[in-house]
Amino acid sequence: MNPHADKVANAAACAPETAVDTGNWTSKRRDFMRMLGLGAGAATLGPVLTACGSSHAQSTSEALRAQLVQDEAFWTGVQGMFVLNPAKTFMNIGTAGSMPATVLDTFETMNHAKAVDCLNGYSNLLDFRKQVAPGFGVDPDELAFSANTSSGMCHAILGLDWDPGDVVVTTNHEHGGGDTPLRIATNRYGIEVSRIAMPVGNNQTAATYVALFDERIRALKAQGKRVRAMMWSSPTYKTGTMLPIAELMGVVKAHGLISIVDGAHLPGMMAYNYAELGMDFMSGAGHKWQCGPGSTGILIVRNKMRASNPLPLPKWYPIHTSSYSPLDRTTNGTATYDIAATITSCGSVHTPMFGALVQACNMWDQIGRKKIETYDLTLSAYLKEKIVERWGVESLYSPKDDPKLCSGLTSFNPFQNKADVMVSQKSSQFVSRMSSDYPQSFQIRNSNFAVIGAPADHYGVRVSTHLWHDATDVDLLVDAMWDLSKKMA
């Protein structure tokens, strides 16, 4: 996991002594670095370059590296909680996380106890939901367990009372997990889907998304269309762009819309408070960044009025349940029924599986969700800066300078001949050779997406950075990717 401890130790020893050259940073960049505990504060440390013998100011990547190694012993301890194969470097958490040992233990113990006592799973898992909900800033009636992100998106989209001609505004970078129920609703209820072409790269801010959604909705309304809902991924699985939820909720509220967030990557990566964000639905995975078992998901559903979102709760029917309440949804701050119980309970459920998810959530709460978020974002910020140093900023599909758009997913074009990124086979070869040709056996992935103005889809390479990585993993990855890009030129 950390074969270059001496290198890391050197960086740690030098880091606090060096000055950060913030002169060429944008104001957004400075805000981001301040958030990570760097930037203006670090710059005031002054150019006291003694023990390290350096005479030049610290680069952005060096400053980020210093930040990463500051708490190295702590993160090494966290890394030790996982059972990952040390012969590989797993950097595709966006597809699958890995259960820590304590989660595996809970799973096995509960499964065994269930068999010993011939237990059933007829439950809405209220006790489990009570344990997990505070970590997400909501009440237990607002947090349901689903089978995964896709299942949560089906609960949300197929349960709404659509009328023919209702328009859902979304993007052209959505995942099938959200797109499939949209397609079903199109054919079954006659809804229409309006897609915004997603920007890529660093030249974008949160305001870009507010303008894109607001302008599209206004244009549709001007055509006499009935816009009912906005659906978007935060972040998208293609470029890792974190569509800014708080800002997009401003658009939702201005136009009185239903809000559906595909948040597959949010649980376990970001420390969001969903009551404050106030969306109607956020569907996340339990098995990705949250590192719970497969077939687990977390679906947040707005179930009472809060100041964060004063819009009426949308009419909604359960589509997969053993418990149905005919009560109307509330019009005030008190729920009329436990909607999360309705969603969670469907026949006999796999209690050990959800018990293990609860254990993963407890572990995250103990470490501190904000601490994990900051570490993940610092790792990805470090990776992005190192990519920019080698390949140039134009190679990034993920934004880096507006902190509101950043996530633990980094997507870029690794090819020396830039057009090669449009060759699917070449991109897949890059991914497989990163696994086969280097001793660390890097596990990454690619994905294809439309780029505005491009003649064909780009097959960008995507890297996930999470709590079992460290700065040295990123160093080795970047060196290997650079080497491979030269060999494949």
Residues at the interface with ligand PLP (CB under 6 A): 94-95, 148-150, 175, 177, 233, 237, 262, 264, 285, 297
The Cβ of residue 31 has, within 10 Å, a number of other Cβ atoms equal to: 17
The torsion angle over the Cα atoms of residues 115, 118, 119 and 120, rounded to 10 degrees, is 110
Cross-strand partners of 258: 229
Please tell me the distance from the alpha carbon of residue 311 to that of residue 373, in angstroms, as a whole number: 30
Please tell me the distance from the alpha carbon of residue 366 to that of residue 372, in angstroms, as a whole number: 11
Cα 249 → chain centroid: 18
* Minimum distance from residue 406 beta carbon to ligand PLP (Å): 16
Q: Write the CA distances from 438 to 88, 268, 280, 470, 481, integer angstroms.
A: 10, 29, 45, 18, 10
Task: Give residue 138's identity as a one-letter amino acid code.
Answer: V
For 156-167, b/e burial (b = at least 16 CB within 10 A) is bbbbbebeeebb
CB 317 within 8 A of CB 161: yes
Nearer to ligand PLP (CB atom), residue 202 or residue 283: 283
Q: Counting beta carbons within 10 angstroms of the beta carbon of residue 41, is it exposed (0 to 12), middle (13 to 18) or buried (19 or more)?
A: exposed
* CA nearest to 278, candidates 310, 255, 232, 256: 310
CB 236 within 8 A of CB 173: yes
Q: Counting beta carbons within 10 angstroms of the beta carbon of residue 330, is it exposed (0 to 12), middle (13 to 18) or buried (19 or more)?
A: middle
Q: For 88-131, give the DSSP string.
A: SEE--TTT----BHHHHHHHHHHHHHHHHTT---B---HHHHHH
Please tell me the distance from the alpha carbon of residue 403 to that of residue 107, in angstroms, as a whole number: 36
Task: Give residue 479's identity as a one-letter amino acid code.
Answer: D
CB 52 within 8 A of CB 14: yes
